Chains A and B, each alone.
Chain A
């Protein structure tokens, strides 16, 4: 169970960092702000709260990934703490999987804490019936962050923290437009269209994890959507971690 040991340590590393605490505080502050400006939303205060609450989870989670996740492995190599790990009976894939699992666990904790706070605010406003939709929204946001974490860990294992952050942000931005990219690819001539279609398939399909509009209206999504999103996230994370370990396997630590 070596990956679990590495994951536990990574979880401690991330949660003892001020970034995570800052993200939670910022998320709670955002919720408080929605309550202040809610009355100005002309009866749409509940909708605004859910929309901003779920967006906050995604954006603040992304912030944690960029500030902590993209340097997770690179920092270990740079500070040579990795010597103390890889000189023990640990495979490199187990190490990377542990890193991904630890950061993902920290992000799920942030998502659940902010999700609970959001549900509490809604319940206090008498909108407790939106609870199931909000829960589903938090779950999908957590999946989205898990997918992005795998990319951050891969880039961190192969590049510098700054470049890893840029690559991760790039994949996030392009991933948000993956539907539109596929639509554009269908309209282009065959060659460039196929190329763009392939590129669109390589970036994560992030709109799949977005149900903010539905949740804001208190409408839960279907179980099929949840199962498909979970399956897609599992396959995508698996592929990214396989790629990362294949490249990391031959890396020398001078």
Chain B
């Protein structure tokens, strides 16, 4: 078990002008703002200190969808728990919709879906959503109405009295989303919302997030699933080892560095690889086709020209998007280099 180190003394009001340009708590356009947010865990017996998050300066603009990316242990969940008040920071401050996260009222317009959400299995779907609404400040009648609406909206309205212990994982995830949205929040924080869902479930979650963006809701979510992030995020923030290494649009991230391109040829290509292609073009023979992988897209015209000149039947030319792993590594490289230095 890990316990927190004591919180530093920090001012109550957002310090005007403090923080980076990216995360200025005085900026009214920011829905989420963190300044030097840090979390260390100390093991109660060994007193060994583990870094969960270090000096996070991050701003999420109102109406924006921002994805938090990072491998396991990068600090994504720690960040989200610090923002939602489930963890106390070791140092630094955070604000939600202009209010410090230490204030309970900062969560009044917040909807949160934890990673692998757990529910009261003695309640049914309707009761659970009604409870969620009441806890977020809705009156009894309104909470009941909204619970019915949202149960319908996430496709669980046919059996509102079904107890939660009989729900499947996908149904629970949808219920969790409905619980996060039942009070019409201005800010949505989702921890791995697509984790463990089948393609249909992921599509539903993406649609729901897209709908919220249309409504002007700010969405901050963590994910490992790059295609989903690409589809719904305005910007992504990459965390590595508890540190923020990059904040950029998906397009900017994809545009970093040389892009690989795959050239597929319909039959075995009777062509010899020139020595100049070594290290740039990789050739793979498969049944009925040959694949040339061009690591640097600037060399593509040269490779294509040569293939066409040799009458090799080119079937497809496909740009290879970098994998999430490749993006992580690329983003982490400057940090690693800085540490080595």
Residues of chain A at the chain B interface (Cβ within 8 Å): 2, 5-6, 9, 12-13, 16-17, 79-81, 83-91, 250, 252-254
B123:A12 contact, CB within 8 angstroms: yes
Chain A's nearest CB lies how many Å from the CB of B9?
15
- For B123, what are the chain A residues with a Cβ–Cβ distance below 8 Å? 9, 12
Q: Which residues of A contact B122 (CB under 8 A)?
A: 12-13, 16-17
Q: For B81, what are the chain A residues with a Cβ–Cβ distance below 8 Å?
A: 253-254
Do B135 and A88 touch across chains, with their CB atoms under 8 A apart? yes
Please tell me which one of the listed residues A12, A13, A81, A90 contacts residue B104 in the complex, with CB atoms under 8 A apart: A90
Query: Max chain B CB contacts within 10 Å: which of A2, A90, A254?
Result: A254
Enumerate chain A residues within 8 angstroms of B132, measured Cβ to Cβ. 84, 88
Residue pair B105, A87 in contact (C-beta under 8 Å): no
- The CA-CA distance from A85 to B86 in the complex, in Å, is 10
Pick the residue among B2, B85, B120, B131 that contacts A87 (CB under 8 A): B85
Alpha-carbon separation in the docked complex, A87 to B116 (Å): 15
Residue B3 at the chain A interface, CB threshold 8 Å: yes
Report chain B residues within 8 Å CB of A91.
104
Q: Which of B94-136 contact A (CB under 8 A)?
A: 104-105, 107-108, 110, 112, 114, 116-120, 122-123, 127, 131-132, 134-136
Complex interface: chain A residues within 8 A of B134 (CB):
5
Residues of A within 8 A of B179 (CB): 84
Known: A9-B123, A84-B114, A84-B132. 14 other contacts (CB 8 A): A9-B120, A9-B131, A12-B123, A80-B114, A83-B84, A83-B86, A83-B114, A83-B117, A84-B117, A88-B110, A89-B135, A89-B136, A91-B104, A253-B81
Residue from the list A17, A83, A87, A250 in contact with B107, Cβ < 8 A? A87
B88 within 8 A of A: yes
Residue of B nearest to A78 (CB): B118
> Which residue of A has the minimal Cβ distance to B84?
A87
Instruction: Say yes or no for B137: interface residue by CB 8 A criterion.
Output: yes
Residues of B whose CB lies within 8 Å of any CB of A are 2-4, 41, 81, 84-88, 104-105, 107-108, 110, 112, 114, 116-120, 122-123, 127, 131-132, 134-137, 176, 179
Take A9-B131, A13-B122, A254-B2 as given contacts and tell me if A88 and B136 are in contact as well, using a CB distance cutoff of 8 Å. Answer: yes
Q: How far is the CA of A81 from the CA of B135 in the complex (A)?
A: 14
A80-B131 CB under 8 A given contacts A86-B86, A87-B110, A89-B107: no
Q: Can you list 7 A-B contacts (CB < 8 A)?
A: A5-B131, A12-B123, A13-B120, A16-B122, A83-B117, A84-B114, A91-B104
B37 to chain A, nearest CB (A): 14
A137 to B27, CA, bound (A): 62
Task: List residues of chain B with CB within 8 A of the CB of A254.
Answer: 2, 41, 81, 87
Looking across the interface, which residue of chain B has its beta carbon closest to that of A90? B135
State the Cβ distance, B173 to closest chain A Cβ, in Å.
13
Smallest CB gap from A253: residue in B = B86
Number of contacts between A and B (CB, 8 Å)?
80
Once bound together, how far apart are the Cα atoms of A81 and B132, in whole Å? 12
Q: Collect the chain B residues with CB atoms within 8 Å of residue A87's CB.
A: 84-86, 107, 110, 112, 114
Which 10 residue pairs across A and B have the least CB separation, nearest first? Answer: A87-B112, A87-B84, A83-B114, A253-B86, A88-B135, A89-B108, A5-B134, A16-B122, A80-B118, A89-B107
- On whether the beta carbons of B4 and A2 are closer than 8 Å, the reply is no
Interface centre among A6, A9, A85 (most CB of B within 10 A): A9
A89:B88 contact, CB within 8 angstroms: no
* Cα–Cα, bound, A88→B105 (Å): 9
Alpha-carbon distance A6/B2, docked complex (angstroms): 27
Report how far A12 CA is from B3 CA in the complex, Å. 32
| Min CB–CB distance A131 → chain B (angstroms) | 36
Residues in A with CB closer than 8 Å to B120 are 9, 13, 81
Given A12-B123, A80-B118, A81-B120, answer yes or no on A252-B104 (Cβ-Cβ < 8 Å): no
| Known A86-B85, A87-B114: A2·B135 in contact at CB below 8 Å | yes
- Determine the chain B residues whose CB is within 8 A of the CB of A6 once the complex forms: 135
- Look across to chain A and name the residue whose beta carbon is closest to the beta carbon of B81: A253
In the bound complex, residues from chain A placing their C-beta under 8 Å from that of B117 are: 80, 83-84
Please report the C-alpha to C-alpha distance between residue A85 and residue B134 in the assembled complex, in whole angstroms.
11
- For B84, what are the chain A residues with a Cβ–Cβ distance below 8 Å? 83, 86-87
B residues less than 8 Å from A2 (CB atoms): 135
Can you name the residue of chain A whose Cβ is closest to the Cβ of B143?
A5
Q: Which residues of B contact A88 (CB under 8 A)?
A: 107, 110, 112, 132, 135-136
Most chain B CB inside 10 Å of its own CB: which residue of A17, A81, A87, A89: A87
* Cα(A215)–Cα(B242), bound, Å: 65
